[in-house]
Structure 1
């Protein structure tokens, strides 16, 4: 039997509030993720959605339980080392990019994420044709702005760049933390369509948080409902096809 690409075993995570209070957020998460899964995640505020992604990424360490990547225990592995196999796009377009570097320079930097770095010639010019081809798939003119400083991009182009940077090395696991929430509806729709296309074409394994029930049903082959720090439902692709938005709201009723 093939091992899951990522597995969480009874993971419990607490966070410290501004006044020093320790609050339990994840309260025993058991989850097996297969290679190629595209999982959408919904839940009310405080359900543990971002905490789940932070725990997987390594920016939060669980208080108990285990995380396994291809069967190997990564529970205590640093966030930096996990970038070797995890890519992430945040909600804020300003996160994950270097504003005073050009689009091409940011993409070049992303090719070295999680790898040992040495003093060597950058080879930026040699990579420009590749970067232009990559940027063109984002369908927003980013390929024409490779020499533009990132701080001069629109929010949509900046988030498209963040997506490219997170996926350029085809990570084992892609974490999308409401990556379209800060964009206008048209730009958000375009980025979601490209996201779906790239995940399918590159056979990526992805977890995507969304507040839009329609998107949770439209995208991915699995849907997780989080409630009060636990997995309330894990819905497969066939079951998703028979659901409507109204059905999802029932999971949040007391």
Structure 2
């Protein structure tokens, strides 16, 4: 049985705290993420999906509850400290990469994530073959643009680079915040397939928000349905394979 790697216990996040109309964006939510899980997350706008990822990443403080990483209480840990064990890919291809650095330089930068920085040789040549091998796994020509400034890449190639940068050091948890939503259908599908291949190969624990119910069913071993700040369904692989998109639609009625 896989061990818990990250836990949220009775977590509440409040909205409109300085008004008379206080709301619960996350409402006494509990979630256990096990080592090796690939969890897809769905829910309507305002259900709390992005807030959930913001809490896990340390970008948003909680108002009540406890957060554990490998059994250690990290409720008050800073977002910067979270980067030592966690990485995230956002929806916007322009986030997460340095436009005036080359593809290879961006990947080298990601290799230093969470570490103290010193004035030492870059070691770009020593890591180039590794970067090239990873870029080939994206199946979109990124391997031919290793010396191209990132700002000159297509949106799909830039998002593929963001993904590679996020998994370079094999984080304990990878957060995918609708990371294909800004791409055209063909490019989106290509990145999703590469995502599944690398997550499976490297046994990366991941959470992926998606608005596409088909993707929620086709990817990952667990499916969470959020509604009004609560998890109303937590479906394992055996439950997922019996469902259709029509079944999922019923959760939103």
Question: What TM-score, normalized to structure 2?
Answer: 0.96
Distance 1:131 1:16, change over 3 A: farther
Separation in 1 of the partners of 2:20 and 2:199?
Answer: 40
Give distance in 2, aligned partners of 1:121 and 1:199: 31
Instruction: Quote the offset at 1:13 in angstroms.
Output: 1.1
* Kept in 1: contact 2:104–2:146 (CA 8 A): yes
CA distance in 1, matches of 2:139, 2:86: 24
Work out the CA distance in 1 between the residues paired with 2:20 and 2:136.
47
Partner of 1:7: 7
Partner of 1:223: 223
Find the aligned partners of 1:14 and 1:195 in 2 and give their Cα distance.
33
Indicate the SS of the match to 1:234: strand
Structure 1 segment 138-157 matched on structure 2, within 5 A? 138-157=138-157
Q: 1:180 to 1:20 in 2, by over 3 A?
A: farther
Within a 5 Å distance, the mapping from 1:51-200 to structure 2 comes to 51-200=51-200
CA distance in 2, matches of 1:115, 1:234: 35
Q: Is the 8 A contact 1:90 1:96 kept in 2?
A: yes
SS in 2 for 1:5: strand
Once the two structures are superposed, what CA deviation does each residue of 1:69-104 show, in whole Å capped at 9, x if it has no partner?
Answer: 100011111111111110100000011111111111
Taking the aligned partners of 1:240 and 1:49, their CA distance within structure 2 comes to 19
Distance 1:97 1:24 in 2: 33
Task: Name the Cα RMSD after superposition.
Answer: 1.7
Partner of 1:239: 239
What do the CA deviations read for 1:134-170 (whole angstroms, capped 9, x no partner)? 1110110101111100100000000000000000000
Shift of 1:24: 2.4
- Distance in 1, Cα, partners of 2:2 & 2:193: 30
Matches of 2:151 and 2:23, distance apart in 1: 36
Q: Judging changes above 3 Å, is the alpha-carbon distance between structure 1 residues 22 and 103 closer, same or farther for their aligned structure 2 residues?
A: farther
CA distance in 1, matches of 2:82, 2:31: 18
Report if aligned partners of 1:3, 1:71 keep a CA contact under 8 Å in 2. no
User: Gapped runs of 5+ residues in structure 2?
Assistant: none
Cα shift readout 1:198-254 (whole Å, capped 9, x = no counterpart): 11000000000000000000000000000000001000100001000000011111x
State the alpha-carbon separation in 1 of the partners of residues 72 and 97 from structure 2.
30
CA 1:42–1:172: 2 relative to 1, 3 Å? same
Quote the Cα distance in structure 2 between the aligned partners of 1:200 and 1:89: 17
- Contact 1:36-1:203 within 8 A present in 2 as well: yes
Structure 1: distance between partners of 2:38 and 2:2: 18
Q: Say whether 1:47 aligns with 2:47.
A: yes
